[in-house]
Structure 1
Amino acid sequence: MPSEWKVLKRAVESLDLTSDEFEDYVMVITDVYGDAIASSGDFEDFSEEYYDFLNRKVFPHERVISTLREAGVSEEDLIVFQDGEVPCDDLVKTWNKIEFNIDELVDMAMMLKLVKDYSFYSENDMIESRYRFQKLLYFINKYLKKEESYTISNSVGGELGMLDRTGYRYRFTRRDSGPYSNVAYEDKNRLYAWSLIDELVVSEDGTGEVAERNRRYGIKLTPRGEAMVKRVYDRIEESDSVIIYSWNDTQNKVVREIAGMSHDELTNMVKGDKSLLRAESGDELLVGPEKKFQTSEINFVEELTEEIAHG
């Protein structure tokens, strides 16, 4: 089930894990989930049957419990996992009440446009795997980081450093599969939850990416996502914001470069990345800007708020 992150991630939000502890949890529970779902089959929707599956096969698993215990989670909190009493339905309802800030909304709009632009070059009209999706985001930010730094004036006055404000806000760390961002994975699943993208099983050969060890998922826009992109596409392409213009231009270049690569060619490109070669597992590779925009700077914020935040 492609949007498993809704429940898996929110199950530990109240446990006050550090970023490293959270990443350890992500790696373990996605492996456990992948094994469990491979033997149980995909579920069509969020239902009592699916929640029961998580509470029987995933949350109480000894690897999950061990990881949480090593992170210092109290025995009282662990009992909820051990006894299979994680309130999945409440977690999904809470997810649907999330309010997005402007930077999150712009990231997700650019992500939707990425899926759309990539589909122009893909024989299957989709990004061929979650692995490829993550690497596209990484190289977009990496290429932006290489650009010459300069300042620009925004519409409300004052000088702004462009490169510390453009690109996705994601923090990438080193995994066995290469650069990976938990927040990017979360945002992708938010788009899935809002029915703006779909994820289809395209191969039984996994890639080693999170939740893609046992099979490969292609990412494409839904009809609703196509309608959303149509509303903002030209505004992004013709934006007066130099930040948006540079980001979009670099994103288009990365799409054209990577879309024609086979999986092996992309894997070799990733393995040859100098930052990756110097890093150990879990090391930070690249950090995107945390704060980028004021609401008044983005002329399509109303559409974003209406289409994504209010679903």
Structure 2
Amino acid sequence: MNPFHYSKPVDVSQAISLAGAASRFIAGGTNLLDLMKENIARPEHLIDITGLPLKDVRETASGGLLIGAMVSNADLAWHPLVEQRYPLLSQAILAGASPQLRNMASTGGNLLQRTRCYYFYDSAVPCNKREPGSGCPAKDGLNRIHAILGASEDCVATHPSDMCVALAALDAVVHVEGRGGKRTIEFADFHRLPEDAPQRDNQLADDELITAIELPPQGFVAHSHYLKIRDRASYAFALVSVAAALELDGDIIRDVRLALGGVAHKPWRDKAVEQSLIGQPVSRENFVAAAEAILRDAKPLEHNAFKVKLAQRAIVRALSDAATGGKA
């Protein structure tokens, strides 16, 4: 770990004024500190934002929720308004990490997690996310956990968050602030596919700070489900995960959201497939067709071809469970 300066600003403006390319904001530190210990992240300046007034969850004028970036994952998962109105989000958060980590991890920090690719964490081998242009050994190496959708020649890593998969399905909006002012980013646009710049995980500028996440009024209370498939029952990253949400009129689908985790560099949605389900009856046949369509462009690697069928079956199961409200 390299030496670094440390600051603890008292407000958002001061935090932003201190930010730059060589600095990092630190909240719970559940990912950044690991990266620093492994010499993967080497910030020259840590800006501690734990004292900023970003810990509220409040209703918006439109009937949604505005979640401060410093709300802990644990507090968010168990917040009464989230449990009652956005059970999909609560389920996804509780499927991630461990109670100890959820107590520390922040809402904003969750969006900024780096990949858990073995090669990214091993500074003895090349990695385009660490050193652009150095290569991607995962393409021909141990790639069981890697991407089957949206990858590039430069990177086949996956995004690790559970919470972000639910936020993608819920059409959340990210509120950020930088020296250029405030702006909002649609959740679908916040994270990037690797393309030829895998070192860039998201659309934030160096001086921008996430201040809040906004949820729209529609929470799919009656018909949503988060399914996570992993190697062990707890404290493991998803091989495949699915956030499924339905709005039903009898057995007719009036709205549908599907987001996948563990398969791409960002939470994966295919809005054309979602649209194809609208107006259709709830049926296994329709769910199977949707699952096959979402994976139609999958490009598995040597060791992760199993993810294609696993993802298809997980989609069908998650949609079926959402349709019944979790009741068999």
TM-score (norm 1): 0.24
Q: RCO greater where, 1 or 2, for CA within 8 Å and sep 6 or more?
A: 1
More helix per residue: 1
More strand per residue: 2
TM-score (norm 2): 0.24
